[in-house]
Amino acid sequence: MTTIRFTPEETAAWYASVPKVALSASAVLRDTQGRIALVRNTYRDGWSLPGGVVDDNEPPAEASIREVREELGHEVVGPATLLVVQWAGRGLGPVQFLNFTFDVGVCEDPAKLVPQEEEIAEIAFFLPDALPAGLRPFMRHRMGAIIGSGFQGISYIQEDETF
């Protein structure tokens, strides 16, 4: 059997030709009443789940836990469980988007949450059947899948528009 070897230039050209994907992770954190934590960011309108970009070579589950710690000041106890994978095409931008949303458990005392000043304008908890009107559209699709599955199993969502 013949093994094909590529030069460093050929390898670099191949990587440059591969479609680009922005990878993000979000977290579903609930309180003891079953309400879901949502955040209003300082840099865009609307409510969304805590989360953000996955760092280089960081597993998405760990990114969701890190984002909860950074954005809310909450230490997650236990593993993150995958709930949703959501994809959105490139649209007019340079990259496709891929989000992994994880259940990160329960916050026993929401009053102890501290918003990260640079990114989080507000933290609030909402009942699953009373999500705010300002929920971003792609986030409404994600939350519909999560709530519709009873916070169990894994859903896949394919968006027609970019995030």
143-156 pLDDT, tens digit each: 999 999 999 999 99
Structure tokens at 64: 């969701």
- The answer to whether residue 163 scores a pLDDT higher than 90 is no
Task: Give the pLDDT of residue 115.
Answer: 96
Q: Which residue has 């050929």 as its token pair?
A: 10
Domain regions of the chain by residue span = 19-159
Task: Give the pLDDT of residue 151.
Answer: 95
Reported in sequence order, the residue ranges of 8-143 that DSSP labels E, i.e. its strands, are 21-31, 36-41, 47-48, 51-53, 81-88, 96-107, 120-126
pLDDT-derived band of residue 91, with 50, 70 and 90 as boundaries?
confident
Decide if 28 contacts 71 (C-beta within 8 A): no
Structure tokens at 49: 């789940």
Give the lowest-confidence range in 1-5, 69-73, 78-82: 1-5
- The answer to whether residue 2 scores a pLDDT higher than 90 is no
**Three-class SS state of 19:** coil
pLDDT-derived band of residue 94, with 50, 70 and 90 as boundaries?
confident
For residues 30-40, give the mean pLDDT: 98
DSSP β-ladder status, 81-88 and 96-107: antiparallel
Decide if 83 contacts 154 (C-beta within 8 A): yes
For residues 27-45, give the mean pLDDT: 96
- The answer to whether residue 122 scores a pLDDT higher than 80 is yes
- The answer to whether residue 62 scores a pLDDT higher than 90 is yes
Count other C-beta atoms under 10 Å from residue 154's C-beta. Answer: 13
Those residues whose C-beta lies under 8 Å from the C-beta of residue 163, and which sit 6 or more positions away, are 88, 97, 99, 138
Query: 19-159: which CATH topology?
Result: Nucleoside Triphosphate Pyrophosphohydrolase (3.90.79)
